Amino acid sequence: MTDSKAYIPPKVWTWDQPSGGAFASINRPIAGPTHDKELPIGKHPLQLYSLGTPNGVKVTILLEELLALGHKGAEYDAWLINIRDGDQFGSGFVDVNPNSKIPALLDRSGSQPVRVFESGAILLHLAEKFQAFIPKEGAARTEVLNWLFGKWVVRRIWAVDLATFTPTRLPSLSTRLIVLQWKPSVSLTCLSVA
Ligand SMILES: N[C@@H](CCC(=O)N[C@@H](CS)C(=O)NCC(=O)O)C(=O)O
């Protein structure tokens, strides 16, 4: 079927700058740093660059759970990245996450710093590093990974669904996935905070 109104991507991307507002600085269609700004580095092995958003807090929760279990190596310095002020486009932050989104983690516990970005990747990195909050092998581990990766696809829509749909208006795809297939893990895993 030919759609005469089909969207044709421009040869050159331009950014129609928003007129302002609280969220005008986020989700810009640009890549790379807009300004020079080094990131602070504290004394602990893990440096967390984040903010208290739903994606941001996942990492903090897992770190606190690891500390509560006695994993001293999970000590971290938390640095605020104010995405409304465009901190995510500072050169230092872009070095840690080229995708300019919080949360981002710099693991300085080894001989070379390791950057980790995407909240799911950070949760998995921490779970594997400390051998905690993830089954070691087999079907249980695969199931955690299934949902850890899959949740990224459905999570946003799921949140909207929960706010918008009543059970009698099911199914929308994501709600159906969650309601029919989600089986809470018997034990706590990194997935529990994802
Ligand atoms: N898929 C990413 C999403 C991270 C994300 O969307 N971060 C938002 C705040 S919750 C952000 O940094 N937005 C700033 C921007 O896009 O400019 C993850 O799970 O880490």
Q: What is the pLDDT of residues 12-28, one digit of tens each?
A: 767 777 667 777 778 78
**CB of 190 closer than 8 Å to CB of 133:** yes
Which atom of ligand 1 lies at the shortest distance from residue 83's CA? 14
Give the structural domain span for 69.
46-130
Predicted local distance difference test score (pLDDT) of residue 94? 96
Q: Is the pTM of this model over 0.95?
A: no
Predicted local distance difference test score (pLDDT) of residue 194? 58
For ligand 1, atom 6, name the residue with the nearest CA.
Answer: 101
- What are 107's strand-pairing partners? 46, 114
117 alpha carbon to ligand 1 midpoint, in Å? 10
Predicted local distance difference test score (pLDDT) of residue 189? 61
**Ligand 1 within 6 A of 174 CB?**
no
**Ligand 1 within 6 A of 27 CB?**
yes
Average predicted confidence (pLDDT) for the chain: 79
**Ligand 1 within 6 A of 118 CB?**
yes
104 and 74 in a common domain: yes
**CB of 100 closer than 8 Å to CB of 51:** no
| Kind plus residue range of the DSSP H or E element containing 48 | strand 46-50
**CB of 84 closer than 8 Å to CB of 71:** no
113 and 50 in a common domain: yes
Question: Between these two residues, 188 and 75, which has the higher pLDDT value?
Answer: 75
144 and 125 in a common domain: no
Burial 97-134 (b: 16+ CB within 10 A, else e): beebbbbbbbbbeeeeeeebbbbbebbbbbbebbebbb
